[in-house]
Amino acid sequence: MNNPGRQPTKSSPQDLTDQLPSLVLENPLWRFAVDLWRSEALQNACLALQDNGWVVSHLIVALWRADSGHHWDAAEPAAITHWRHIYTAPLRQMRRELASKDTTLGLRRKVAEAELEAERIELALWHRHFDESWIRQSTDDGPNTSMKTGESSHQVSQDPARLAAMNLTTLAKTRHFSHHTALLQALMLAYHPSLRLDEVVSLLDVSSATQEESAS
């Protein structure tokens, strides 16, 4: 699914197949996504945004980074964009086009399984990206760095709800989806059910204002 906005960061899609054998499919990001998907409310919120052009893996990454205490600038490596456009998105489109009838039910189920595996590889590529970013940062900072694997220099001391609002509004801004405020509110409420609607509105408004100030 093509999205307008920020261009993907430079990478080499041609080298993507060389990366696949060494990917770790069972990783913290995948486990986070599985736990996330157990919530019907979160599923519905993510799929509603997907129906409006958002990429679910971006939403998962934004929430995972926030849950880990990090801000995410919403930049995507070209190799991950390439994988999604060539593999994940076509499988999703094929599944949607197959009618849920007895004659195609078996095929639709197999396509759905392949789509899930493509999404899992996509998240493994994301996890590899953040791991490599941490390694580069550790090398720059010297051997005495105390960060855990997968963390970056963008770690900040803020609560997950505030960081989630920041990451989601950054994603909305870079993909030109800032008009989907109600859908983002629904996602925030599903992810942080302890928050009231007015608290979610305030978090998103403050994050948007902060980004506008930074851009000016």
Check residue 101 and give its pLDDT: 73
Check residue 133 and give its pLDDT: 67
Spatial distance between the Cα atoms of 191 and 185, rounded to a whole number of angstroms: 10
Check residue 216 and give its pLDDT: 67
Spatial distance between the Cα atoms of 23 and 25, rounded to a whole number of angstroms: 6
Spatial distance between the Cα atoms of 45 and 16, rounded to a whole number of angstroms: 31
Say if residues 174 and 212 touch (Cβ distance below 8 Å).
no
Check residue 8 and give its pLDDT: 45
- Residue-wise pLDDT for 47-97, tens only, equals 999 999 999 999 999 999 999 999 999 999 999 999 999 999 999 999 989
Q: Is 93 left (phi over 0), alpha (psi -120 to 50) or beta?
A: alpha
- E strand intervals along 38-185: none
Residues of the chain with pLDDT under 70: 1-19, 21, 133-157, 216
Check residue 202 and give its pLDDT: 95
Check residue 135 and give its pLDDT: 56
Sequence-separated (6 or more) residues with CB below 8 Å from residue 175: 3, 4, 5, 6, 53, 54, 58, 74
Check residue 176 and give its pLDDT: 87
Find, among 180, 200, 204, the residue nearest to 191 by Cα: 200
